[in-house]
């Protein structure tokens, strides 16, 4: 029987980043892994803005909210966006763009893990600031920012985040999230 892919088991949302630069080739491999994701009718609705230096990186860092202070050390911030019209519009009003973009992000997280790096997606940012600073159109959804970098020193983390760096990974048991052959109310 096959085992779970090691990168899936090893990936964690770590925060103790090093400021060591990441080569463009490595960033491109991580982004390429994202582009390899499955998508509805192969529409590939994701769009990534890799901020790796200068004003672009500083502007992305400035959009992070206070709880994501730790991500300002990361040498790469990837702004992940999509638009509903870039993907399948199904007859029951399901827009696949965000789902497909999430699968692309998962590919990037796993590739970064394979590269021996951390990749941590965040919801704690100001999308309006990003829109204004980078000229992102109103119809474009800013989904997440992913901090990417090498493992580093966790001494700059607050007590809660420092504890999470060394804690055991917590996942719900399969029987808490899987139902077989019939549906009962979510809990």
Every domain of the chain and the residues it spans: 12-154
pLDDT of 155 reads 85
For every one of its 187 residues, what pLDDT tens digit does the chain have, with 9 covering 90 and above? 688 898 988 898 889 999 999 999 999 999 999 999 999 999 999 999 999 999 999 999 999 999 999 999 999 999 999 998 899 888 888 888 999 999 999 999 999 999 999 999 999 999 999 999 999 999 999 999 999 999 998 888 889 998 898 888 899 999 888 988 898 876 6
Asked if 79 and 145 count as a contact pair (C-beta separation under 8 A), the reply is yes
pLDDT of 187 reads 67
Which pair of tokens denotes residue 136?
């992102």
Helices and strands: H and E segment counts in the chain: 7, 4
47-51 β-sheet, strand order: 47-51, 76-82, 141-149, 118-122
pLDDT of 42 reads 94
pLDDT of 75 reads 98
Nearest Cα to 97, choosing from 146, 145, 47? 47
Query: For the whole model, what pTM was predicted?
Result: 0.94
Rg of the chain over Cα atoms, rounded to whole angstroms, equals: 18
Per CATH, the homologous superfamily of domain 12-154 is NADH Oxidase (3.40.109.10)
Spatial neighbors of 158 by CB under 8 A, at least 6 apart, are: none
């Amino acid at each position: 029987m096959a085992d779970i892919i090691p990168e899936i088991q090893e990936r964690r949302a770590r925060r103790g980043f090093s400021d060591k630069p990441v080569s463009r080739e490595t960033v491109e491999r991580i982004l390429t892994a994202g582009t390899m994701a499955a998508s509805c009718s192969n529409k590939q609705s994701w769009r990534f803005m890799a901020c790796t230096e200068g004003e672009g990186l500083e502007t992305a860092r400035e959009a992070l909210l206070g709880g994501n202070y730790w991500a300002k050390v990361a040498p790469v911030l990837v702004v992940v966006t999509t638009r509903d019209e870039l993907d399948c519009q199904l007859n029951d009003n399901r827009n696949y763009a965000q789902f497909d973009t999430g699968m692309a992000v998962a590919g990037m997280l796993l590739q970064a893990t394979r590269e021996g790096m951390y990749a941590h997606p965040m919801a704690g940012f100001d999308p309006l600031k990003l829109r204004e600073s980078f000229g992102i159109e109103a119809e474009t959804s800013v989904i997440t920012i992913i901090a990417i970098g090498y493992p580093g020193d966790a001494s700059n983390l607050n007590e809660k985040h420092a504890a999470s760096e060394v804690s055991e990974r917590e996942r719900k048991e399969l029987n808490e999230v899987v139902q077989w052959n019939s549906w009962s109310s979510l809990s």
